[in-house]
Amino acid sequence: MIRLVLVGTSHHHAPVELRERVALEREEAQALAARLAEGGREAVCLSTCNRTELYLAAEDGEAAERDAVAALAELEPDVEPALYRLQDQAAALHLFRVAGGLDSLVPGEGEILGQVRAAHQFGATGSFLDRVFRQALHAGRKVRTQTAIGESPASVSSAAAALAEQVFGSLAGHSILLLGAGTVSEQAARNLRSRGAEIALVANSKTGREEIEEQLGLADVVIASTNAPGVVLDADAVGRALQRRRGRQLLLVDLAVPRDLDPAIRDLDGCYLYDIDDLEEIVAETLSGRRREAERAESLVAAEAEKFHEWHASLDVVPAIASLRARAEEIRTAELRKAESLLERLDDSQRRAVESVTAQIVNKLLHLPTVRMKQAAAAADGVLYAEAVRHLFGLGEDER
């Protein structure tokens, strides 16, 4: 039987300085999934600011888990104690919660659904993981459309804007420097403008260091969210800018993984540096107002996980059901051939009626056993029922 295996880590288990060492760009995640899929497996790598997770479908679940752990430990040996390992329904439930934004740093945030979709698209999937990820996307969409858990602030970008407002009281007239011109940066700019802030500069990879340092001397808030592999703004550059600020405080929020801002900036007088993990307090305040919606969302994804369990468990009995139906059809057609001398007296419509009636008899006889076998499979008795059916009807004896 194919097993669903999950190995990964997230903001619940590892600090940002550990997560950034196992964070992967899309091409790297795609390559890792392809490597883990060798030997007939299926694999998807989901890597975001808050998590790096490997999903595998394999006959040997234990071996797949060991290989996934080894792959992440190869990226960073210290990550192994922070890894969680889930299989089958527990792994599916986790994925469905992730897609619904229920496992995010900011519960209900919307970016994760697109990230799950992209991971699926660039993964090495077959029929099993394709079904699992499509069901996850379906669960995520249900959470977004049937609950209000996604209400503001629904992303780390909006949480960062809320933090800036808490620090300054009002953002009206305050100047913002954005490092990064991607989706997260755009969302941050939108949230900051809605609070009255002015965007002084959106710096990208082509923006010169001199221009950035010049704006550092003027800006009140710096929000960093680039895809750079390492630090893009160090403590020395900020220190030089502070000399021109004449004591004005500077708030810096680092939303990137790996981090864009040098952690040593925290030690500079007049600087307040927050990274993605520091937003948890704002998240907690947000969550307190959404508990009822979160409960509804949890019920939705739990129902989807139960559907996965029923489908997954039925895979054990599907071969027996198919063999039983094939044997019944074989008997039906054989008996009709024996009665050919009688049937040849019938016209075409009458012969079709005989075919239809005998087929309906077979279907009705097998309907309840089929339903009961699938129900038993969901209750872990499916294998016993399947073996009993094979024995009672002599299924597979010809092959033996």
Known catalytic residues are: 49
Q: What is the CA radius of gyration of the chain?
A: 29
Distance CA 82, CA 19 (A): 10
Contact (CB, 8 A) for 187 and 202? no
Look up residue 39 and give its two tokens.
């030997």
Torsions phi, psi of 219, nearest 5? -70, 155
Query: If we measure between CA atoms, which residue out of 59, 75, 56, 66 comes closest to residue 124?
Result: 56
CB-based contacts of 302, cutoff 8 Å, min separation 6: 93
User: H or E stretch including 177?
Assistant: strand 175-179
State yes or no: cis peptide before 81, omega within 30 of 0: no
Helix (H, G, I), strand (E, B) or coil at 15: coil
Look up residue 346 and give its two tokens.
């019938």
Distance CA 306, CA 397 (A): 35
Instruction: Please return the burial class of 257, using the count of CB atoms within 10 Å of its CB with bins 0-12, 13-18 and 19+.
Output: buried
Strand order in the sheet with 3-10: 42-47, 51-58, 3-10, 84-87
Distance CA 146, CA 148 (A): 7
* Sequence-ordered alpha helix ranges (H) in the chain: 16-19, 26-36, 61-75, 88-99, 111-121, 127-146, 156-168, 183-194, 209-216, 235-242, 280-288, 291-314, 318-338, 340-343, 348-378, 382-393
